[in-house]
Amino acid sequence: MSDSDIHVAALCGSLRAESHTRAALEVVLDAAAGAGATTELLDLREYELPIFDADRDREDAGDAERLAERVRAADTIILGSPMYHGSYASPLKTALDYCGFDEFADTTVGLLAVSGGAFPVTALEHMRSVCRALNAWVIPHEAAVPNASAALDDDEFVDPSLEKRVRTLGLRAVQYARIEPDPDSFESDQNVGAQGK
Ligand SMILES: Cc1cc2nc3c(=O)[nH]c(=O)nc-3n(C[C@H](O)[C@H](O)[C@H](O)COP(=O)(O)O)c2cc1C
């Protein structure tokens, strides 16, 4: 498979019109495109996703099936979220709960988190935990954008070294799109909800 056959999709956990997370994800995707991949931003504002109800089939839950289909089409998925209350944001959680092993198992995932204050370490950790439960393969390099309103000016990174870290995530998304999967995690063995999604 050449790099031009690799498709990288980014899920944005912020619905805000002027989202810094979305702007940072566009930089990740730009770097991935520069490395030869096709790219796609999955903007959750464009999907009607009711709050997850395990009693409801995905086919009956608004645009959930359409979103899952776009996630399945990706070789690498970038999860991007603002830090909300020390974790990642609920629109992304809803989107992830509509997905399962079919979308994430043995798939490469990159993580990006954005915060208004200090480094969004816990948001990254919590997204990483979800990926372990879904048997995804998470890129070791992760991108954190603290103090977001000062870090970006008109959707451009002020600090070139931070931009380089964010761009590196896009490069790794292509480089590791076809990595040999690891054995299943212990957490995934307990994840009955991810079966048959
Ligand atoms: C409900 C809510 C909770 C937040 N919690 C935190 C937090 O725990 N730590 C932090 O540094 N910033 C927090 N913020 C600030 C956001 O992380 C920051 O504004 C970020 O840029 C939002 O991402 P966006 O620009 O992509 O929408 C919070 C914002 C909101 C709306």
Which residue bears the tokens 């998925």? 77
Using CA atoms, how far residue 120 sits from 93, 97, 165, in Å, is 16, 22, 15
Cβ–Cβ contacts within 10 Å for residue 107, how many? 23
Residue type, 85: H
Residue 1 has pLDDT above 80, yes or no: no
Residues above pLDDT 90, as percent of the chain: 94
User: Domains along the chain?
Assistant: 3-190 (3.40.50.360)
What does the DSSP 8-state code read for residue 50? P
Q: Which residue CA neighbors atom 29 of ligand 1 most closely?
A: 84
In this predicted model, what pLDDT tens digit does every residue of 111-122 receive, in sequence order?
999 999 999 999
* SS3 category, 74: coil
Which residue bears the tokens 């948001």? 123
Q: Which residue CA neighbors atom 22 of ligand 1 most closely?
A: 82
Please give the mean pLDDT across all residues of the chain: 96
Say if ligand 1 is within 6 A of residue 92 CB. Answer: no
Residue 196 has pLDDT above 90, yes or no: no
Q: Maximum CA pair distance of the chain? A: 47
Residue 96 has pLDDT above 70, yes or no: yes
CA 172, chain centre distance (Å): 14
CA of 80 to the centre of ligand 1 (A): 13
In this predicted model, what pLDDT tens digit does every residue of 40-67 receive, in sequence order?
999 999 999 999 999 999 999 999 999 9
Best mutation site among 115, 122, 153, 154 for ligand 1 pocket (most ligand atoms within 8 Å of CB)? 115
Residue 142 has pLDDT above 80, yes or no: yes
* SS3 category, 34: helix
Say if ligand 1 is within 6 A of residue 16 CB. Answer: yes
User: Rounded mean pLDDT of 166-180?
Assistant: 97
Say if ligand 1 is within 6 A of residue 81 CB. Answer: no
